[in-house]
Homo-oligomer: A and B are copies of this chain.
Amino acid sequence: MLSFTEENYLKAIFKLSEKTDGPISTNAIAHEMNTAAASVTDMVKRLAKNDFILYERYKGVFLSKQGDIIARKLIRKHRLWEVFLFDKLNFTWDEVHDIAEQLEHIQSEELVDRMDKYLGSPKFDPHGDPIPNKNGQFAIREQDPLSELVLKDKGIIVGVREHSKAFLQYLEQCNLVLGTHVAVLEIFDYDGSIKIKINHKIEQIITQKVANNLFIIKEE
């Protein structure tokens, strides 16, 4: 049985692999996990010895099939717990992540299955991130950053790219939560900021940074 720490390393390597192809460097892992590179080297040797990753000195690591499966299970658990906390216990979307970081390590296949069923087999978590199914497959959907919409485009907010508490709390305050309808009224060349109409009612200007971190499914 893997320790919490080992599980967290696998999850970090998975996350980094999503954004990079080729091997994941020691340094990248160290940065992702807030540990010293030397610690990563040690751990990476252990994980490789037990066939959770493939490791070549000075090159970096890949997840093995086994490691990949474990990482996906962790993400599945993490996101299902987030849905539970959000849907059933009414936590806000900026609160769920920290608690899910703990809950994702609970060991019980049966618990995951029952939780999935209890929650209605959700395909996306409270941040709009896809929840792997039992086989580790992620749902995919056509979504674009709000910053890529053009004048008069409209759609529904379905996800966020950034997950910081500050960003999520800002969005909450502006009513820019999942499910919200937005329409692009004006795009300012000057700084890329955008005037949008929120839920057919309120007009508001958001920065390009905000727009870039919001995912939209286009309508019409």
Q: How big is the A interface, by class? A: 10 to 19
Write the A66-90 contact mask toward B (1 if CB under 8 angstroms, else 0): 0000000000000000000100111
Shortest A91–chain B CB gap in Å is 7
Q: Does B99 contact A106, Cβ atoms closer than 8 Å?
A: yes
Q: Is A103 an interface residue (CB 8 A)?
A: yes
Q: Is A39 an interface residue (CB 8 A)?
A: no
Q: Does B99 contact A118, Cβ atoms closer than 8 Å?
A: no
Shortest A104–chain B CB gap in Å is 11
Q: Does B115 contact A89, Cβ atoms closer than 8 Å?
A: yes
Write the A89-114 contact mask toward B (1 if CB under 8 angstroms, else 0): 11100010011001100111011001
Q: Does B88 contact A111, Cβ atoms closer than 8 Å?
A: no
Within 8 A of B (CB), among A203-217: none
Contacting residue for A89 out of B89, B91, B103, B111, CB 8 A: B111
Minimal Cβ-Cβ distance residue in B for A89: B114
Q: Does A107 contact B115, Cβ atoms closer than 8 Å?
A: no
Q: Does A111 contact B99, Cβ atoms closer than 8 Å?
A: yes
Q: Does B99 contact A108, Cβ atoms closer than 8 Å?
A: yes
Q: How far apart are the CA atoms of A30 and B103 in the complex, in Å?
A: 28
Write the A183-218 contact mask toward B (1 if CB under 8 angstroms, else 0): 000000000000000000000000000000000000
Residues of B contacting A89 in the complex (Cβ-Cβ under 8 angstroms): 111, 114-115, 118
Residues of B contacting A88 in the complex (Cβ-Cβ under 8 angstroms): 118
Minimal Cβ-Cβ distance residue in B for A108: B99
Question: Residues of A at under 8 Å CB distance from B?
Answer: 85, 88-91, 95, 98-99, 102-103, 106-108, 110-111, 114-115, 118
Given contacts A95-B110, A103-B103, 15 further A-B contacts (CB under 8 A): A88-B118, A89-B111, A89-B114, A89-B115, A89-B118, A90-B114, A91-B110, A91-B114, A98-B108, A99-B106, A99-B108, A99-B111, A102-B106, A102-B107, A103-B106
Sorted nearest first, the 9 A-B pairs with minimum C-beta distance are A89-B114, A102-B106, A99-B108, A99-B111, A89-B118, A103-B106, A88-B118, A102-B107, A89-B115
